[in-house]
């Protein structure tokens, strides 16, 4: 049974956390292998978006019309291989942030207060409902289509809330220990805001009494960038057999949304961004 960590020092609604170590984290990321199955999957998705079929690739005129600078099915496949290879390399790099935050969170010296976990769960539930409604589904329809029980959905919210809160707590502790500072001029870069929107968002946050939360989010983002830059990373390369199994699982998830050709085309979870694992 894991040892229960103490609660953090609370000042108002703000929690103060510490880490057992502030040294660079060590992580391992998976590098996808670019397989023939990857290429065929990419082709199927691209052709579906174009309203075409595999048979259309045999027509040089159709290829030239729909793929700039390409004239044959072989050229299309080679271009797809290059594109997927680049995407796979990017996917490996994009894993670093999540892995680093997870490793840092494992060093937390305190547990997350129950009220903060509940706030995170409520935010996740609201986001989930909003996303599936945008896809034309209700929660009941989503569960029926994916074979998910209500308790499994709640367990997913529980896991994600715990991970989110622990990650935020670890980054806040790191930023405090390293005495990091942020300037409003950095908010746009750190929080992914459009330069034209930064001042408006800052003004709105001040008016709503949420400026401190906005600044803390920027501070955590700055801390995350430093942790990723300083991490020690090992790359695990996927085998051809693992790549084949990965694509097969993806196609299986797509079939769950076969009733609507548009659903699941970009995200096998039905574009909800939630993964039931």
CATH number for the domain including 101?
1.10.3120.10
The pTM of the full predicted model, rounded to 2 decimals, is 0.81
The dihedral formed by the CA atoms of 134, 135, 137 and 139, expressed in degrees to the nearest 10: -70
Residue 71 is assigned to a structural domain of this protein: yes
**For 172-190, what is each residue's pLDDT tens digit?**
999 999 999 999 999 999 9
Residue 82 is assigned to a structural domain of this protein: yes
Residue 208 is assigned to a structural domain of this protein: yes
CA distance 266 to 260: 13
Q: Average model confidence (pLDDT) for the chain?
A: 90
Residue 269 is assigned to a structural domain of this protein: no
**Number of domains the chain is built from:** 1
Please identify which residue in the block is written with the tokens 């691209």: 46
Residue 276 is assigned to a structural domain of this protein: no
**Residue 267: pLDDT above 60?**
no
Residue 135 is assigned to a structural domain of this protein: yes
CA distance 168 to 199: 24
Residue 226 is assigned to a structural domain of this protein: yes
CB contact at 8 A, 17 and 169: yes
**For 107-146, what is each residue's pLDDT tens digit?**
999 999 999 999 999 999 999 999 999 989 999 999 998 8
Residue 275 is assigned to a structural domain of this protein: no
Residue burial 56-81, b: 16+ Cβ < 10 Å; e: rest: bbeeeeebeebbeebeebebbbebbb
Among candidates 28, 3, 19, which has minimal Cα distance to 178? 19
**For 213-241, what is each residue's pLDDT tens digit?**
999 999 999 999 999 999 999 999 999 99
At residue 2, the pLDDT reads: 60
The whole domain housing 121 covers 9-255
């Amino acid at each position: 049974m894991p040892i229960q960590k103490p609660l953090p020092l609370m000042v108002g609604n703000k929690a103060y956390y510490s880490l057992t170590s502030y040294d660079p984290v060590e992580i391992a990321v998976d590098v996808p292998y670019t397989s023939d199955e990857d290429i065929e999957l990419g082709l199927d998705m691209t052709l579906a978006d174009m309203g075409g079929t595999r048979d259309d690739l045999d027509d040089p005129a159709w290829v030239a019309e729909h793929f700039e600078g390409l004239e044959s099915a072989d050229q299309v496949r080679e271009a797809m291989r290059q594109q997927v290879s680049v995407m796979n390399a990017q996917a490996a790099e994009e894993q670093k942030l999540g892995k680093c935050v997870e490793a840092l969170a494992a060093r937390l010296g305190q547990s997350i207060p129950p009220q903060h976990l509940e706030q995170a769960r409520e935010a996740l539930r609201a986001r989930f409902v909003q996303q599936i409604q945008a896809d034309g589904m209700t929660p009941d329809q989503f569960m029926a289509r994916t074979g998910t029980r209500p308790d499994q959905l709640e367990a997913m919210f529980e896991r994600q809330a715990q991970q989110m809160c622990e990650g935020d707590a670890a980054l806040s502790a790191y930023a405090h220990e390293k005495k990091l500072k942020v300037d409003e001029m950095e908010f746009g870069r750190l929080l992914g805001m459009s330069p034209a929107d930064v001042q408006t968002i800052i003004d709105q946050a001040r008016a709503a009494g949420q400026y401190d939360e906005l600044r803390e989010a920027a501070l955590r983002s700055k801390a995350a960038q430093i942790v990723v830059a300083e991490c020690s990373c090992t790359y695990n390369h996927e085998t051809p057999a693992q790549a084949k199994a990965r694509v097969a699982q993806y196609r299986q998830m797509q079939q769950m949304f076969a009733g609507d050709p548009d659903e699941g085309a970009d995200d096998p979870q039905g574009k909800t961004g939630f993964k039931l694992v």
